[in-house]
Amino acid sequence: MSTETPLVSVRMSTYNHEKYIAQAIEGVLMQKTNFPFELIIGEDCSTDRTREIVVDYSNRYPNIIKPILQEKNVGMRANGRATREASSGKYVALCEGDDYWIDPFKLQKQVDFMEKHLDFSMCFHRARKVDEQGRELGTFWPKKSWNKPITTTEDIIEGNYISTQTVVYRRGLFDQQLFDILAEGLSFGDWVLHILNSLHGRIMFLDESMAAYRVTETGASGTTTRIKLQSDILTLYERMEFHLGSQFPIKKIVQFKNRRLLILARLNAEKGENELARNYLEQSKKNNDKFFANFKLKAAAYLSIYYPWIYSITKKAYRLTRTFR
């Protein structure tokens, strides 16, 4: 193992990624840099050949790859925490075991920016979407039409448009225990990470596609999953208000919270949970949201609860107009 301290720690969590993990590792190994970096792979006791592949690569590249081999399945959050605690670099880059990097100069470009701009806590770039076989889908995240160069806390708190495998950030800007508290039990952790980093500096967008985000069949879909996601976002807002206090001066937080409440009202009405839907709608009224940005969501929530037949016709008509655009 090299005694040279890495400038960048690349964190990779993997579980049952037998079909993808070699491509993820190769994307890191191909990086051409003028600085040392390490690849920390948390292997969460997979039931397929993922561990075998990770061990093989770590044996071949002992100066770069640091494997963390869990003795039993500990779950995504604990496995990620293990890779975090093993990191020693000034900067951290992320790449999950089913995604991969496509530009050999990705790390160099991002670190060059961070070294020259000390007031930025993080930078990210665009990712190409690919299917399970790695074939390009012709879409990107964020979308090609999106080109906001600088992200602030108020931008990122509204919604997450930063893909995990595209980020490089400064290690140690915030208390990791705070991250664990905010992210506990949520269906996402990367968004929490981006928000906390944004509290310690601006975030730069580099308008290049240097990584691939793999869209798999196990991705989030269905009403129940969408309800869980919106509920988790609402929980995150409430936790941040409670734990961050004055560090979290988001003027539009009422608007953002009400957006999630109204979406939850509509989704539960679609599922037939009318009493729960009405409760969410009543909560939104109590927040005294004076913003007009949520007008369409309010209308959709009211119609889905009290006039479902009108809502159904309106929804079908909306889909039809989008089809012929």
pTM of the model: 0.91
What's the mean pLDDT in 267-283?
Answer: 95
pLDDT tens digits for 122-137? 999 999 999 999 999 9
Q: Where in the chain is the domain with CATH 3.90.550.10?
A: 8-214
Is the model's pLDDT at 303 over the cut of 60? yes
Burial class (CB in 10 A: 0-12, 13-18, 19+), 195: buried
Q: Tell which CATH architecture fits domain 8-214.
A: Alpha-Beta Complex (3.90)
Percent of the chain with pLDDT over 90: 82
Q: Which residues are registered as beta bridge partners of 169?
A: 92, 122
- The dihedral region occupied by 9, where left means phi > 0, alpha psi between -120 and 50, and beta the remainder, is beta
What's the mean pLDDT in 193-217?
Answer: 95
The pLDDT score that the predictor gives to residue 323 is 46
pLDDT tens digits for 37-49? 999 999 999 999 9
pLDDT tens digits for 62-93? 999 999 999 999 999 999 999 999 999 999 99
Is the model's pLDDT at 147 over the cut of 90? no
Is the model's pLDDT at 220 over the cut of 80? no
Burial class (CB in 10 A: 0-12, 13-18, 19+), 38: buried
